[in-house]
Amino acid sequence: MSAEDLVEVRVHGRGGQGAVLAVTLAAEVAFRNGYYPQAFPFFGAERRGAPVAAFLRYSSSPLMPRCRISEPDCVVVFDPLSLPAETFLAGLKENGLLLLNSTGENLTAELKTSPENKVYAVDAAHIAAGCGLIFSGEPLISSVMLGALVRVLQLAPQEIFSKALLGKFPRYEGENLAGAERGFLEVKEVLKDAIFR
């Protein structure tokens, strides 16, 4: 028995954006859909606003490695304009997935992805604002990115996903559940040429 269907995800965010919450709740969804998950933060001291990473690993077998993730199957970026592309693309597998918080049009960075990489975008800031997830003038995009991540990984069907999240958000449950659902429904695969001008 070994983890042959192992999936490894790395999420890039900034301290306070909820990257750790997103992977923890994604692990909750994975668990409710029958997987063995691990969710863990970057090993270090977190500071609000500073770049952080969080990790998700899941498989149908509990026999998974227990180390940091350096060659992810999927990379999620909360704030693509704040990080050099080579930082968040580091180690992404050739057939890996890239999920960006983006309108799909506002990225000008030159992204060197492989032809097999699939790129997805979700306009998380806009959706979060629409769900009332604005606090201290900043959109809280964690639940929207979580919904989009569950969709692109095909981690669980929508009904399992929504049920798994009930009672799990520490605050603003209604707004976050709405944000997660819209992230799930509105994430789109984008043509790389269109965004990587």
Give the pairing of strands 118-122 and 188-189.
Answer: antiparallel
Of the pair 54, 100, the CB lying nearest other proteins is at 54
Of the pair 3, 83, the CB lying nearest other proteins is at 3
Q: Which spans of this chain sit near other proteins (rule: CB under 8 A)?
A: 1-3, 24, 27-28, 31, 36-41, 43-45, 63-68, 70
Q: Six-digit token pair at 75?
A: 């990379």
Q: Which of 22, 5, 4 is nearest to 149 (CA)?
A: 22
Residue 76 and residue 89: Cα distance in Å, rounded?
A: 10
CB of residue 70 to other proteins, shortest distance in Å:
7
Of the pair 74, 119, the CB lying nearest other proteins is at 74
Under 8 Å between Cβ of 179 and 173: no
CB atoms within 10 A of CB 110: 9
CB of residue 18 to other proteins, shortest distance in Å:
15
CB of residue 34 to other proteins, shortest distance in Å:
11
Q: Which of 68, 57, 105, 63 is nearest to 90 (CA)?
A: 68
CB of residue 31 to other proteins, shortest distance in Å:
5
Give the CA distances from residue 18 to residues 15, 23, 146, in Å, rounded to whole numbers and listed in that order. 7, 9, 10
CB of residue 144 to other proteins, shortest distance in Å:
21
Of the pair 40, 196, the CB lying nearest other proteins is at 40
Of the pair 23, 121, the CB lying nearest other proteins is at 23
Q: Scan for tokens 């029958």, then name that residue.
A: 34
